[in-house]
Amino acid sequence: MHFSRNRASFAVVGHPNKGKSSIVSTLARDDSVLVSQQSGTTTHSDSYMIDTGNAGYELIDTPGFQRPKKALHWLKQKADSADQRSAAVQAFINDIECQNDFPDEVRLLTPLMNGAAILYVVDGSRPYGVEYEAEMEILRWTGRPSMALINPIENESYVDSWKNALQQYFKIVTVFNPMQADFNKQLSLLKAFSHLEPEWQDTLAQVVADLTEQVALNEQQAIILLSELLTDLCHYQNQQKVLTKGQAESLKQLLAKQYNQWMANREKQAFTSLCQLFSHANCELQSEAIQYPPDLFDSEQWYVWGLNKKQLAAVSTMTGALAGAALDAAVAGHSFMLGAVGGSIVGFSSAWFGADKLASSSIKGLPLGGYMAVQGPIKNPNFPYVVIGRFLYLYEQLKHKNHADRSQVELNSEVLKERIELMQKADSKRLHLCCKQLANQKTATDLVEVLTSLFTRATIDS
Ligand SMILES: Nc1nc2c(ncn2[C@@H]2O[C@H](COP(=O)(O)OP(=O)(O)OP(=O)(O)O)[C@@H](O)[C@H]2O)c(=O)[nH]1
Ligand SMILES: [Mg+2]
């Protein structure tokens, strides 16, 4: 990382409970920043160093103003004219009595006097009022470059009146919703930051370039994770050598259990890597805010996650893969699912219907004596699509989830089906051929390339 001596640094300040920490969390792409409905959650100034590889900047989360009127009164005693104001603020943070009487103001003003620029946050869904003027006045007294962000927490009702007021104090005023701002909006905000301090322009331009590149890289890495997962899940067999046929028979259940566990763990491992790739690891651990797709072996869900019957029929025309009975098997559980598809499937029964029938189990006699009990692989032609559908769904959630947003996400099992509909015919044919190879335990040679066209073909609106 190359932080210049005069590091680009921004302190996010404002009234308590206006989304300051949320803004830090989303911009820092860090879901460990404390965000809460409780006013006064942030009690210290916490610095977050954002390192994008070739550049970086600092974001400082601060406690909200608690007694701005009294603090301004104190300051006014110390400065008779404008040229003395910034020195008065410095005296305020150095003063022991002020440190006792105004701990929050001292903590939030300190980073500003150390060189950070001001990002002043207000809530555009609450009316403007004179009670904000004391804190805006104090911020002006610091003499630091500043920008105001209107966070429309519940709605945009008062955005216009806020703009009128803020423009009196801040050169740049913009609306920014940390929960919803998509990646492009986040980049625009970073670009706006660079207007605050000419010295920081190059660094921030590099940060924007780095982040853009990172997003493309994340996609590539996600595709590689999925191609490895597909190959592993479609090929995996659990087998054990025993002496007699009877022993092999009695081993079946255990092998099936181990097999299912291995498969489920392998998928979970890929999901965890995907969360880490998007720096959403904390989210899942702390609040289970990331909702994984339901159990892989809940075959009632296969119809939902994989292809539907119409699509499978289209595959059969394209690749000659399926016919009659095979098609019915591929939509395992469809008769149970018809009523549930379309609505929310959260909390849907997760019975393990038929999981043992999906992976073949067999007993082979060995040439040199003894027997081999074998569980797997799953040859169901819809299985690779199920794996892709589940992974793609989680990918879409993570990609669009801002780090300030700690809520649960809604399931959308239609992602894969919609994506395939949007693919060029030639591309979807290649995808179907790959899936056929996978379901037959062959090597799918251009899997990464095919998945790339699936991931990038179109963006489904989130
Ligand atoms: N719906 C919605 N909620 C928001 C938004 N921004 C913040 N919140 C919520 O508002 C509450 C306060 O957000 P924080 O980011 O903790 O606010 P803060 O200004 O850091 O608060 P203190 O540290 O207590 O001063 C949290 O429950 C957030 O989830 C927003 O844009 N939309
Ligand atoms: Mg906070």
Residue where a domain stops, chosen among 211, 226, 250: 211
178 CB-near residues (< 8 Å, 6+ apart): 19, 22, 23, 25, 26, 27, 151, 402, 404
pLDDT at 368: 82
pLDDT at 174: 96
pLDDT band at residue 171, thresholds of 50, 70 and 90?
confident
Q: Are residues 202 and 91 in the same domain?
A: yes
Determine the average pLDDT of the residues in 426-443: 90
SS3 373: strand
pLDDT band at residue 333, thresholds of 50, 70 and 90?
very low
CATH of the domain at 161: 3.40.50.300
Q: Are residues 308 and 411 in the same domain?
A: yes
454 torsion bin: left (phi>0), alpha (psi -120 to 50), beta (else): alpha
Closest ligand to the CA of 120: 1
- Asked if pLDDT for residue 411 goes beyond 90, the answer is no
pLDDT at 461: 38
pLDDT at 173: 96
Q: Are residues 286 and 344 in the same domain?
A: yes
pLDDT tens digit string along 179-213? 998 889 999 999 999 889 999 999 999 999 999 99
When the pLDDT of each residue in the chain is averaged and rounded to a whole number, the result is 82
Pocket of ligand 1 (CB under 6 A): 16-22, 35-37, 39-42, 63-64, 151, 153, 177-179
pLDDT band at residue 343, thresholds of 50, 70 and 90?
very low
Determine the average pLDDT of the residues in 140-157: 96
Q: Which of 271-275, 308-312, 352-356 has maximum average pLDDT?
A: 271-275
Measure 191 CA to ligand 1 centroid, in angstroms: 23
- Asked if pLDDT for residue 288 goes beyond 60, the answer is no
Return the best residue to mutate from 12, 17, 286 for the ligand 1 pocket (most ligand atoms within 8 A of CB).
Answer: 17
Answer yes or no: is 191 within a domain: yes
pLDDT at 331: 53
pLDDT at 409: 54
pLDDT tens digit string along 39-76? 888 888 889 999 999 999 999 999 999 999 999 999 99
Q: Are residues 435 and 326 in the same domain?
A: yes
pLDDT at 412: 60
Answer yes or no: is 301 within a domain: yes
Q: Are residues 307 and 199 in the same domain?
A: no
Q: Are residues 200 and 259 in the same domain?
A: no
167 torsion bin: left (phi>0), alpha (psi -120 to 50), beta (else): alpha
pLDDT at 334: 42
Residue where a domain stops, chosen among 211, 246, 279: 211
- Asked if pLDDT for residue 329 goes beyond 70, the answer is no
Q: Are residues 252 and 202 in the same domain?
A: no
Measure 199 CA to ligand 2 centroid, in angstroms: 28
> What does the alpha-carbon distance between residue 128 and residue 111 come to, in Å, rounded to a whole number?
26
Measure 15 CA to ligand 1 centroid, in angstroms: 11
Ligand 1 closest atom vs CA 406 = 29
Answer yes or no: is 4 within a domain: no
Q: Are residues 271 and 135 in the same domain?
A: no
pLDDT at 350: 28
Residue where a domain stops, chosen among 145, 178, 211: 211
Answer yes or no: is 223 within a domain: no
Measure 37 CA to ligand 2 centroid, in angstroms: 9
pLDDT at 282: 60
Answer yes or no: is 225 within a domain: no
pLDDT at 428: 86
pLDDT at 299: 60
Ligand 1 closest atom vs CA 178 = 31
293 compared with 8, residue with greater pLDDT: 8
> What does the alpha-carbon distance between residue 119 and residue 12 come to, in Å, rounded to a whole number?
5
Answer yes or no: is 219 within a domain: no
Number of domains in the chain: 2
Measure 406 CA to ligand 2 centroid, in angstroms: 14
Determine the average pLDDT of the residues in 250-259: 89
- Asked if pLDDT for residue 86 goes beyond 50, the answer is yes
- Asked if pLDDT for residue 215 goes beyond 60, the answer is yes
Nearest-5° Cα angle at 114, 110 to 118: 75
Ligand 1 closest atom vs CA 179 = 31
> What does the alpha-carbon distance between residue 353 and residue 242 come to, in Å, rounded to a whole number?
29
Determine the average pLDDT of the residues in 147-176: 95
Instruction: Name the residue with tokens 């404002």.
Output: 14
Ligand 1 closest atom vs CA 121 = 19
Measure 21 CA to ligand 1 centroid, in angstroms: 7
- Asked if pLDDT for residue 344 goes beyond 60, the answer is no
Report the share of the chain in percent with pLDDT over 90: 46
pTM for this prediction: 0.78
Q: Are residues 267 and 387 in the same domain?
A: yes
26 compared with 330, residue with greater pLDDT: 26
- Asked if pLDDT for residue 323 goes beyond 90, the answer is no
List b or e across 336-349, with b for residues whose CB sees 16 or more CB atoms inside 10 angstroms: bbeeeeeeebeebe
> What does the alpha-carbon distance between residue 355 and residue 361 come to, in Å, rounded to a whole number?
12
Determine the average pLDDT of the residues in 362-377: 86
> What does the alpha-carbon distance between residue 181 and residue 57 come to, in Å, rounded to a whole number?
20
Atom 5 in ligand 1: residue holding the nearest Cα? 153
Q: What length is written for the chain?
A: 462
Atom 7 in ligand 1: residue holding the nearest Cα? 19
pLDDT at 407: 66
Answer yes or no: is 462 within a domain: no
Tokens of 102: 């105004």
Nearest-5° Cα angle at 24, 18 to 28: 160
Q: Are residues 302 and 175 in the same domain?
A: no
Residue 270 near residue 225 (C-beta atoms within 8 A): yes
pLDDT tens digit string along 228-254? 999 999 999 999 998 998 998 899 889
- Asked if pLDDT for residue 340 goes beyond 60, the answer is no
Q: Are residues 240 and 207 in the same domain?
A: no
Answer yes or no: is 217 within a domain: no
Q: Are residues 197 and 317 in the same domain?
A: no
- Asked if pLDDT for residue 289 goes beyond 90, the answer is no
> What does the alpha-carbon distance between residue 263 and residue 77 come to, in Å, rounded to a whole number?
71
413 compared with 439, residue with greater pLDDT: 439
Which domain range does residue 272 map to?
Answer: 236-456
